[in-house]
Structure 1
Amino acid sequence: MPFDFNTAVRKRYAILPVPRDFIPSSETPTSQILWVGCSDSFIIETETLDVLPEEIFVHRNLGNLLHNRDLSSESALDWCLDLLKVKHIVVCGHYDCALIRENDANEVHGWHKLHRTNTEYLSNINNNLNTEDRDRILEEIYVLAEADWIRTQPNVKKAISGRGLQVHAFVYDKARNQCVRLVELDMVNGAK
């Protein structure tokens, strides 16, 4: 399995706002961020982070995934790490994603398995979740799992240890036009 949902669903995390200066602008037209986003998120990355458009290399696809074994995703990751030497990777999902909804997910190969696994998990921990809350939590789990998977890739691990690359998990809320960070509580407390 490309990433570990069983671990992701057990994570404890804080949801924090993303300040516009979260990643300070270098004020130079050089990419410092690989932004992995969903094709239908409608987010404007430079409004979320106050950086120059040239500072963000944007890669979008269904479900903000890099692990789907396609040449485009693999090339984007390699290009950004090896040639551009980005300092940050942002995995940015969005609430109200069509892939989260069960009917839509059943139509897209593979997503129904992820959706069913996580829906069963959420049902076991809280039967009182309404559909919107459940979908929001599922999106957060997917983003956390994708960020975890990216951190396990050999070239990412090398960049983390060798030059301080950081991987961030964001979720965009179109209704509020704001972005939040998902920060593992161990990371907030400095243990990780």
Structure 2
Amino acid sequence: MKSFEKLLMENKKWASDKQKIDPNFFKHLAKEQKPEFLWIGCSDSRVPAELIVNAEPGEMFIHRNIANQMVATDFNCLSVLQYAVAVLKVKHIIVCGHYNCGGVKAALNNQSTDLVLTNKWLMHIKNVYRLHQKEVNALATEQERIDRLVELNVIEQVKTLAYTSIIQQAWHEESRPIIHGWVYGLSDGLLKTLISMEPGHEIEPIFKYDYTEAVA
């Protein structure tokens, strides 16, 4: 059996098992989605969002990219954010990184001439490193430096979310969502809370909107 055929077989078993437990499961799921959470996570195959929090289909709206970035010029991520906040009315946004992240590890090294597009994406993490270079370089081992940059990257992405008009407008008009920054441990499967920003949280004045425009 080929690997992709196994996936199709497992899909049939999963769907059958779900219907045995709840015959109406897929009927309810097909009607509409009302997730409470938007999850912005890393594309790493070892960090499946629903599995690590034991969530069911329909509970989380999910966006993933290399090293869980919230880039202010990424229209893909901004579209997901706007839909989740303005249409789905999510109450919580979770930015989740993970220790020993390959993207963060690569960002701490010189740029590869073989990965031109990846280099451009990693530039955002390099800027996080530049902002916190003194703290990161003071750590004793490479692994400690990588894992601390993982944490700092999550914190900076949470702040970037708060700088968007999408979030600020929702905070102003509906007092939601709460933004959370978490990090996942590959070695123990546990999540660690790093930062939380609630509606009304004070942000740097230079990033504040006056609500006269609706530009992300």
Same fold by TM (over 0.5)?
Answer: yes
Rate the CA distance shift 1:78–1:183 in 2: closer, same or farther, 3 A: closer
Runs (4 or more) in structure 1 with deviation over 4 Å come to 102-105
Is the helix fraction higher in 1 or 2?
2
Which residue does 2:191 correspond to in 1? 179
Which residue does 2:147 correspond to in 1? 136
Deviation string, structure 1 residues 105-134 (Cα, Å, up to 9, x no partner): 62322535336525732356x2x5211111
1:96 aligns with 2:95: no
Match of 1:156 among 167, 175, 195: 167
Which residue does 1:169 correspond to in 2? 181
1:109 aligns with 2:112: no
Match of 2:69 among 55, 65, 72: 65
1:45 CA drift (Å): 2.4
Q: Tell me the distance in 1 between the aligned counterparts of 2:72 and 2:120.
A: 11
1:44 CA drift (Å): 2.9
Q: Tell me the distance in 2 between the aligned counterparts of 1:169 and 1:106.
A: 27
Q: Tell me the distance in 2 between the aligned counterparts of 1:53 and 1:105.
A: 40
* Percent identity for Structure 1 against Structure 2: 26
Is the strand fraction higher in 1 or 2?
1
Match of 2:87 among 76, 83, 88: 83
Three-state SS of the structure 2 residue aligned to 1:101 is helix
Deviation string, structure 1 residues 24-70 (Cα, Å, up to 9, x no partner): xxxx9521111001111522323433443201011001121121523
Q: Which has the higher contact order (CA 8 A, sep 6+)?
A: 1
Letter of the 2:111 counterpart: N
Report if aligned partners of 2:100, 2:147 keep a CA contact under 8 Å in 1: yes
Q: Pick which of 94-103 and 32-41 moved more.
A: 94-103
The structure number with the bigger radius of gyration is: 2
Letter of the 1:140 counterpart: E
Q: Tell me the distance in 2 between the aligned counterparts of 1:76 and 1:142.
A: 20
- Provide structure 1 residue ranges, at least 5 long, that are not aligned to the other structure: 1-27
> In angstroms, what is the RMSD of aligned CA positions?
2.7
